[in-house]
Structure 1
């Protein structure tokens, strides 16, 4: 998480926004390749922003959901839905093969708690816990998160927006792989944007819409930087995602605010969207210090 960053943030972060309707060439490939039972090898597309020789946590977070999906897929009974997942990043995420071990901590027919541990070089690098809840028809009482530009919670569709070259701010294979489309000009500490990718999460394996959606959430800490990442470090040490419905589609919407405190801590807070509107929230705790 603490590698040197090569690219200096420009004074106008919108300088890299392309004209509306144009798209960067879509990549062909994946973030990970299968490497055996519950084992995965990251490709160069998973390279980190603080250090391209490390994994960016965003696709790794999606890979953990993918592993949980596979863990629960073959079991009989009513399928529960992932409604909260909380990750703790325990150390350096080397761009090396990893193993993901999943187990049930609290079984149940309507509520279940599972834990996933990512091991890199036989060391626990990430520990995640996910609550799975039963589903039912609650449309009669559904409501909340009705913000957004149209009063119904929906953001401007990504197809109507221009792409922003986030590589003007960050290095790394992951950042180069995503299509970022701001809803409004990005500002220090405040950005709303769509994130998409043309890459598969795992080569040769179908991923759920949720795993693909989560694989883009950790980008939030990089789209609304308060200070140049060549002068300040502010990596996140965790990520917690709460969902009130399951996301759909290929785009992840991030309505993000970044706050720095006076004693070296910060928080990145995000309202999560798909094209139909808000789906939940994400929080990231930051450690803030000068380079």
Structure 2
């Protein structure tokens, strides 16, 4: 896959901060179906960043993030609001909202839990996945397009078939210009791509956007090598007979499995005149 020249710029970012809680999306957030929309991937990463950096708790791990997509994620300046919904010493819930033109576009709730040493009883994880060096680059241009897609490198298992795919993804684009982001927030920014990786039909013929994204992390993702910020996706998509689908994904970092993600889908033939939202 050939990356656009802009993504080779080490200062490239998905967002710029233009106020205390106000942000401007860059061209790297552009969605796949509509040019004027943001892709959910960078938006979910930014909200994870907000959940971690506002009202921070270094003694708790962000282990579940549930995103509700409440409307069109327009590619225009927006605000993020964060509040602690359920404070606690060992269990806490935090909520972040992306507000676009005075309207909530995405709501993200995150559970934070206290951690402890349970290595002696750990077990039950999924099988390991071959590393990104095992699979070739995927020329995504024949399937997906948009500024966000152009910012991502794809390595896809050649044995993948429509509805079942394994892949590694990485991007050189930072989350917020001039700001460090945690490995978890950087990882989260690529998870929503799972639905596109596991597509059962070509997106020129069918629309299958997800209206939510729920991620469970039983281990915080980590990138020991900055050059190996790879996100592994083992995804399966089920399309039902009544216009509803489900994409389920096991998540990996270079050290092994870290959790799971689920996305519920609305399935629509693009010849239909019904709007997507």
Question: TM-score, normalized by length of structure 2?
Answer: 0.91
Q: Which has the higher contact order (CA 8 A, sep 6+)?
A: 1
- Runs of 5+ consecutive residues of structure 1 not aligned to the other structure: 1-17, 148-152
- Runs of 5+ consecutive residues of structure 2 not aligned to the other structure: 224-228, 271-277
- Does structure 2 retain, via aligned residues, the 8 Å contact 1:90–1:124? yes
1:276 paired with 2:255, answer: yes
What is the aligned partner in structure 2 of residue 125 from structure 1?
105
1:193 paired with 2:176, answer: no
In 2 relative to 1, CA 265–137 (structure 1 residues): closer, same or farther, beyond 3 Å?
A: same
What is the aligned partner in structure 1 of residue 242 from structure 2?
263
What is the aligned partner in structure 1 of residue 125 from structure 2?
145
Trace 1:139-218 onto structure 2 (pairs within 5 A). Answer: 139-147=119-127, 153=128, 155-218=129-192
Number of matched pairs:
262
- Does structure 2 retain, via aligned residues, the 8 Å contact 1:102–1:117? yes
Runs of at least 4 residues off by over 6 Å:
22-25
Inter-partner Cα distance in structure 2 for 1:24 and 1:96 = 22
- Does structure 2 retain, via aligned residues, the 8 Å contact 1:38–1:67? no
Inter-partner Cα distance in structure 2 for 1:160 and 1:287 = 33
Inter-partner Cα distance in structure 2 for 1:105 and 1:280 = 24
SS state at 1:137 partner:
coil
SS state at 1:184 partner:
coil
- Given candidates 216, 223, 226, the residue that maps to 2:200 is 226
- How far 1:33 moved relative to its partner? 0.6
- Does structure 1 retain, via aligned residues, the 8 Å contact 2:63–2:111? yes
1:54 paired with 2:28, answer: no
1:40 paired with 2:23, answer: yes
Question: TM-score, normalized by length of structure 1?
Answer: 0.87
1:97-156 CA distances to partner (integer Å, 9 max, x unpaired)? 111111011100100011111101111000111000001111111111232xxxxx2x22
Inter-partner Cα distance in structure 2 for 1:146 and 1:223 = 20
Structure 1 stretch 176-185 or stretch 273-282: which is displaced more? Answer: 176-185
